[in-house]
């Protein structure tokens, strides 16, 4: 007797959503992805650079066309072989190295490049672009879920019935709010100015030359620069693009809508640029000033959830574990979430969906909980905020043990592979539909 094929509805077409689609298709499920934006992203106005760890890359490669998967991913990324933390003297405008890990094994990607790579390896007909998720209803026997959405262009209401609803709708998840209406995101105490400066133009090549005089390992190094009560992050992306982030302590801004990205005025940008000149070395300040349309993210996380599964509804990615960005975890956790979910459901089958979802939850919640809290602590350390001991981190007087906490390799679960996780799934199961 042939096993029945499960049908999943994924809400959210960002990286967590497309990863969920890959993992579930690989597990033999039918998938439909709902996304309110009208088309796949071609640029990345509010999603800039990210770092991919070795396990995430193995998983991605298992989803790409097998004959060229390694080349595809490598051709869209740059190596990050060094993780360096340094402190900048505000008065003298010089930096000194605090920690340096030369065995770092990440790769740097532009958000839209990675999304495009994953999206193009999926069947086109599984996406409903321009469809706004409205609500869902779980059947009394909890064996199916009905999802209601609206086509934004026509206003037409659509209902889709599936065996599983995957909430990949980000840290402000409306699906999560249905189950946890009193859950509030925790403001970190700081916001992040972000941008990407394209230096591929010959007219701007001298900026890159000057920058490499101060940061000689640019192109292979993840730089964390600690100032007085602030820190910045920057690294090079493919095609001579510089990704930078600058974290600024401030009261919580008032957000409008369902996004953590604020609208910024020219006056706000000018003020930010003037402040950068007071804090950072001239070469980094110039990168910030030359960047067109920098944007401002309000940084939130939340206390780790003990439950991310309710009947046939499951949270994934930032919907399951909103996190601060200091551990380079958000994208990597989303990729691993999707892979573990897919393989748990492959093992359980749709007939034992509850058991598969429980296994997914039992595998992911313990490690993501530790990573969220570790990333929170890293942010407070690097921003000079008070820690549990009532003191702020002081790079001038820090012990070797305290400095070691700054390194990415000390993230809990950094090198762990979940028991039984396979990353050699045959993508040919669904590549014929492309």
Per residue in 55-70, pLDDT tens?
Answer: 999 999 999 987 665 6
Q: What is the pLDDT of residue 204?
A: 74
Question: What is the pTM for the complete model shown?
Answer: 0.94
Residue ranges in the chain modelled with pLDDT below 70 = 1-3, 43-47, 67-70, 419-420, 422-434
pLDDT given for residue 421 in this prediction: 72
Query: Which domains, ranges and CATH numbers included, belong to the chain?
Result: 7-75+112-184+302-399+408-431 (3.50.50.60), 78-108+187-300 (3.30.9.60)
Token output for 18:
């497309």
Question: For residue 70, what pLDDT is reported?
Answer: 64
Return the pLDDT at 287.
Answer: 96
| Residue 331: predicted pLDDT | 97
**Per-residue pLDDT, 356:** 97
Longest dimension (CA), the chain: 75
pLDDT tens-digit series, residues 394-421: 998 999 999 999 999 999 999 888 866 7
pLDDT computed for residue 422 by the predictor: 63
Residue 42 confidence (pLDDT)? 72
Q: Provide the CA 47 distance to its chain's centre, in angstroms.
A: 9
Separation between Cα atoms, residue 69 and residue 431, nearest integer Å: 13
User: What pLDDT is recorded for position 1?
Assistant: 35
């Amino acid at each position: 007797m042939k096993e029945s094929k499960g049908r999943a509805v994924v809400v959210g077409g960002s990286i967590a959503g497309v990863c969920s689609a890959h993992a579930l298709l690989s597990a033999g499920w039918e998938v439909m992805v709902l996304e309110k934006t009208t088309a796949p992203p071609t640029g990345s106005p509010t999603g800039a650079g990210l770092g991919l760890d070795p396990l995430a890359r193995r998983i991605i490669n298992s989803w790409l066309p097998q004959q060229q998967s390694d080349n595809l991913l490598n051709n869209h990324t740059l190596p990050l072989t060094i993780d360096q933390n340094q402190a900048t003297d505000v008065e003298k405008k010089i930096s000194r190295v605090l920690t340096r890990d030369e065995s770092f094994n990440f790769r740097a990607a532009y958000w839209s490049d990675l999304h495009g790579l994953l999206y193009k390896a999926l069947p086109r007909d599984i996406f409903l672009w321009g469809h706004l998720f409205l609500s869902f209803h779980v059947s009394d026997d909890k064996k199916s879920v009905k999802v209601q959405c609206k086509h934004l262009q026509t206003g037409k209401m659509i209902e889709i019935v599936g065996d599983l609803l995957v909430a990949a709708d980000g840290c402000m998840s409306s699906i999560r709010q249905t189950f946890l209406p009193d859950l509030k995101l925790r403001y970190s105490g700081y916001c992040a100015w972000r941008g990407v400066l394209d230096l591929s133009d010959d007219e701007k090549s001298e900026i890159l030359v000057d920058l490499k005089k101060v940061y000689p390992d640019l192109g292979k190094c993840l730089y964390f620069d600690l100032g007085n009560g602030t820190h910045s992050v920057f690294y090079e992306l493919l095609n001579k693009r510089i990704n930078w982030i600058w974290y600024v302590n401030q009261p919580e801004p008032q957000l409008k809508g369902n996004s953590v990205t604020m609208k910024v005025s020219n006056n706000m940008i000018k003020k930010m640029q003037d402040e950068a000149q007071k804090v950072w070395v001239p070469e980094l300040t110039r990168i910030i000033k030359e960047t067109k349309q920098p944007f401002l993210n309000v940084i939130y996380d939340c206390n780790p959830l003990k439950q991310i599964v309710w009947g046939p509804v499951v949270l994934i990615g930032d919907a399951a574990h909103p996190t601060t960005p200091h551990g380079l975890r958000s994208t990597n956790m989303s990729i691993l979430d999707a892979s573990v979910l897919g393989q748990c459901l492959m093992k359980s089958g749709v007939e034992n969906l509850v058991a598969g979802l429980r296994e997914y939850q039992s595998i992911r919640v313990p490690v993501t909980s530790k990573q969220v809290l570790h990333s929170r602590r890293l942010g407070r350390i690097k921003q000079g905020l008070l820690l549990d001991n009532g003191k702020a981190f002081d790079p001038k007087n820090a012990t070797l043990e305290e400095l070691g906490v700054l390194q990415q390799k000390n993230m809990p679960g950094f090198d762990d592979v979940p028991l039984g996780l396979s990353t050699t799934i045959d993508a040919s199961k669904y590549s014929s539909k492309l």
